[in-house]
Amino acid sequence: MKYISTRGQSPALNFEEVLLTGLAPDGGLYVPETLPKFSQQEIASWTTLNYSELAFKIVQPFVGECIPADDLKAIIDDTYVEFRHPAVAPLVQLDHNEWVLELFQGPTLAFKDFALQMLGRLLDYVLERRHQKVVIMGATSGDTGSAAIQGCKRCNNIDIFILHPYQRVSEVQRRQMTTILADNIHNIAVKGNFDDCQSMVKASFNDKSFLPEDRQLVAVNSINWARIMAQIVYYFYASLSLGGPMRPVAFSVPTGNFGDIYAGYLASKMGLPIDQLIVATNTNDILHRCISNNDFVKHDLEHTLSPSMDIVVSSNFERILFDCYDRDGLAIGDLMTRFQSEDVVLSNSAFASLNGLFDSYTVDDGQTIKTIEDVYEKNEYLLDPHSAIGVEAARKVRRSYDVPMITLATAHPAKFPEAVMKAGFPHEPELPHHMSSLFSDEERVDIIENDLSKVHQFMNEHISS
């Protein structure tokens, strides 16, 4: 399997190479040159597989020759050991043909564990074989950082530096990062906001001269292809649990950077019968505006009750645009360059194809709270604010009540107590039992000025030899 850049100007890479990079040198994102396709019979034959057996079937063609099958099997089996629910991704029923897929059973209580538990293990395997060490640097407003740290904490060949804005992540989110005391894990609280953190990471990828010569810098944000790949699996798993592939299903996906919903689009291209894919956004709604109205104009960031979806621009959107522009890398390069500095619209044909692939809906904070309240009242089931946006969008724009509608529940409600309390819940939602020591565990974090040279100096002093 080869991976090509969405801007068409970089050489194709194999899986191992794509695993160890971030953006392509031409500024594009890597995508598979061709997708594996599964027949209905083949998918139907997987109904009896458990989650990790199914994951192997779906992931193997993307990895190809790069990892021998037995080793890949072992990596995948290990990926889900820290998920608390034996089904890994259990379904919960809310109403007739209305379901929630719980993707928050992993160690950090958000769906990002699916991608990062696998990514950390894949990286460690490949690095061990190459006798190579790398540095991971990432910025987080909460969920990504903790999932990356949990995914990489055992990896001897990775030094990981996660920047978060000082005093601007929730206590649960901070403690999920700072209580992991492994020597290769470094939490940097930057005296600035999330954008400052992200700019520092971007600048570091653009000029890597601060690193020791033998180190490569690896991205763990959702532009990393392996993260997307890991997320395709649960679309198949949910469908197979509800009568697929004979019976088509629909998905509603709380969306920020477009990684999760893009994995659903790929599942459908690989042969899974999906009747409808709904992009659910909060009031940071560039995706909804673009999909419904070809309005691809940046607005200022709004802080909402669903902070993991607070984005101005979705980094993975370029991957779907690449397909909507019939994989014309030059057109994408031109569009994305102009998008930086001016208002752009998609071509008529690209817009038509995007609009045909997805439905979309925006849910504001008031409606998010109402949905949490409503579902709790009817089902005694507590949604987190991100998942509530998915459920509400599904209720507003679903096309058929005969097709099972599955909303991806992306986080556990205990991660976002503010929204849950606003919905009238009488006390803070409880953390799962295994995390009961989170608030008393020892923390380790370094607070650093909003100054890139200070951050680089710190990293240099702490990169292992």
Instruction: Candidates 100, 309, 350, 391: give the one binding ligand PLP (CB under 6 A).
Output: 309
Task: Report how far residue 453's alpha carbon sits from residue 203's, in angstroms, rounded to the nearest whole number.
Answer: 11
Active-site pick, 2, 37, 57, 112: 112
User: Which CB atom, from 243 or from 432, has the smaller least distance to ligand PLP?
Assistant: 432
* Contact call for residue 264 and ligand PLP (CB under 6 A): no
Instruction: Candidates 143, 328, 359, 392: give the one binding ligand PLP (CB under 6 A).
Output: 143
* Contact call for residue 284 and ligand PLP (CB under 6 A): no
Which residues lie below 8 Å from residue 29, measured CB to CB, with a gap of 6+? 5, 6, 23, 223, 225, 315, 316, 318, 319, 322
Amino acid making up residue 155: C
- Please choose, out of 66-74, 119-127, 255-263, 335-343, the segment that lies near ligand PLP by the rule CB under 6 A: 255-263
Instruction: Candidates 173, 176, 255, 268: give the one binding ligand PLP (CB under 6 A).
Output: 255
**Least gap, CB of 392 to ligand PLP (angstroms):** 14
Nearest 5 degrees, angle CA 32-CA 41-CA 81? 65
**Closest C-alpha among 254, 231, 232 to residue 309:** 254
* Contact call for residue 320 and ligand PLP (CB under 6 A): no
Query: Would residue 232 be called left, alpha or beta, if left means φ above 0 and alpha means ψ between -120 and 50 degrees?
Result: alpha
* Contact call for residue 288 and ligand PLP (CB under 6 A): no
Active site residue 112: yes
**Closest C-alpha among 15, 446, 390, 458 to residue 225:** 15
- Please choose, out of 30-38, 58-66, 248-256, 297-305, the segment that lies near ligand PLP by the rule CB under 6 A: 248-256
**Least gap, CB of 363 to ligand PLP (angstroms):** 12
Three-state SS letters, 33-49: CCCCCCCHHHHHCCCCC
User: Which CB atom, from 319 or from 386, has the smaller least distance to ligand PLP?
Assistant: 386
x/- letters, 106..125, toward ligand PLP (CB under 6 A): ----x-x-------------
Which residues lie below 8 Å from residue 58, measured CB to CB, with a gap of 6+? 232, 233, 236, 270
Extract the tokens encoding 320: 């779907």
- Please choose, out of 61-69, 79-87, 253-261, 330-338, the segment that lies near ligand PLP by the rule CB under 6 A: 253-261
Q: Count CB-CB contacts under 10 A for residue 204.
A: 22
Residues 374-433 that bind ligand PLP (CB under 6 A): 386, 410-411
Task: Report how far residue 2's alpha carbon sits from residue 15's, in angstroms, rounded to the nearest whole number.
Answer: 7
Extract the tokens encoding 369: 């709270």
**Least gap, CB of 238 to ligand PLP (angstroms):** 16
Q: Count CB-CB contacts under 10 A for residue 357.
A: 17
- Decide if 7 contacts 333 (C-beta within 8 A): yes
Instruction: Candidates 151, 192, 259, 333: give the one binding ligand PLP (CB under 6 A).
Output: 259
Residues 204-233 that bind ligand PLP (CB under 6 A): 222
By annotation, the residues acting in catalysis are 112
User: Which residues sit at the interface with ligand PLP, rule CB under 6 A?
Assistant: 110, 112, 143, 222, 254-260, 308-309, 386, 410-411
